Chains A and B, each alone.
Chain A
Amino acid sequence: MTELNTLTLADARDKLRSKDVTSVELTEACLKAAEGAGALNAFVHHTPEIALEQAKAADARIAAGDAPAMCGLPLGIKDLFCTKGVPSQAASGILEGFKPQYESTVTQNLFDAGAVMLGKLNMDEFAMGSSNETSVYGNAISPWRRGNDDAALTPGGSSGGSASAVAADLCLAATGTDTGGSIRQPAAFTGIVGIKPTYGRCSRWGIVAFASSLDQAGPMTKSVRDAAIMLEAMCGHDPKDSTSAELAVPNFEAMLTGDIKGKKIGIPKEYHMDGMPDEIEALWAEGRAMLKAAGAEIVDISLPHTKYALPTYYVIAPAEASSNLARYDGVRFGHRASLAAGDGITEMYEKTRAEGFGDEVKRRVMVGTYVLSAGFYDAYYNRARKVRALIKKDFDDAFAAGIDAILTPATPSSAFGLGEMNDEDPVKMYLNDVFTVTVNLAGLPGISVPTGVDHQGLPLGLQLIGRPWEEGDLLNTAYALESAAGFVAKPGKWW
Chain B
Amino acid sequence: MSIDKDTAARVAKLARIKVEEDALPALAQEFNTILGFIEQLNEVDVDGVEPMTSVTPMRLKRREDVVTDGDQQDKVLANAPDAREGFFAVPKVVE
Contact = CB atoms under 8 A, between A and B. Distances in A.
A315 interface: yes
B17 A366 contact: yes
A37 B76 CA distance: 36
B52 to A, nearest CB: 4
Nearest to A388: B52
A442 B14 CA distance: 30
Contact of A200 (B11, B33, B56, B72): B56
Given A200-B58, A331-B81, A383-B41, A365 B15 contact: yes
B82 A336 contact: yes
B67 interface: no
Nearest to B63: A239
A308 B46 CA distance: 12
Interface string B6-17: 001001111111
**A310, A334, A363, A386 pick with most chain B CB within 10 angstroms:** A386
Given A367-B31, A390-B46, A392-B52, A333 B37 contact: no
Contacts of B27: 363, 366
Contacts of A425: 30, 33
A471 B27 CA distance: 42
Interface string A306-325: 01101110110000001000
Task: Say whether chain B's binding surface is mostly helix, strand, loop, or mixed.
Answer: loop
Interface in A218-249: 239, 242-243, 245
Contacts of B43: 308
B49 interface: yes
A332 B11 contact: no
B40 A308 contact: yes
A368 B13 CA distance: 13
B31 A370 contact: yes
B49 A386 contact: yes
A54 B44 CA distance: 53
Contact of A333 (B31, B50, B60, B80): B80
In this complex, the interface size class of chain A, counting residues with CB under 8 Å from chain B, is 35 or more
Nearest to B46: A386
Interface string B42-81: 1110100111111110101100000000001001101111
Given A314-B37, A367-B31, A370-B31, A354 B17 contact: yes
Contacts of B42: 383
Contact of B15 (A305, A345, A366): A366
B88 A331 contact: yes
A351 B15 CA distance: 12
A385 interface: yes
A200 B43 CA distance: 31
Most buried by B among A102, A344, A351, A370: A370
A145 interface: no
A389 B18 contact: no
A243 B90 contact: no
Nearest to B62: A242
Contact of A199 (B16, B41, B50, B56): B56
Contact of B55 (A99, A100, A213, A333): A213
B90 A426 contact: no
B92 interface: yes
A243 B41 contact: no
A384 interface: yes
Given A333-B79, A336-B81, A389-B51, A350 B17 contact: yes
Given A344-B92, A386-B52, A349 B16 contact: yes
Given A331-B88, A443-B56, A373 B14 contact: yes
B60 A427 contact: no
B38 A101 contact: no
A198 interface: yes
Of the listed residues B13, B18, B34, B60, the one surrounded by the most CB atoms of chain A closer than 10 A to its CB is B34
Contact of B58 (A243, A336, A367, A373): A243
A294 B44 CA distance: 39
Contacts of A468: 56
A386 B37 contact: no
B86 interface: no
Contacts of B55: 199, 213, 388, 392, 441-443
Given A198-B56, A333-B79, A366-B11, 17 more contacts: A98-B79, A213-B55, A243-B58, A307-B40, A308-B40, A314-B37, A331-B81, A357-B17, A366-B27, A366-B31, A367-B31, A369-B14, A370-B11, A373-B11, A425-B30, A427-B37, A443-B56
6 contacts: A343-B91, A350-B17, A357-B17, A363-B27, A389-B50, A390-B46
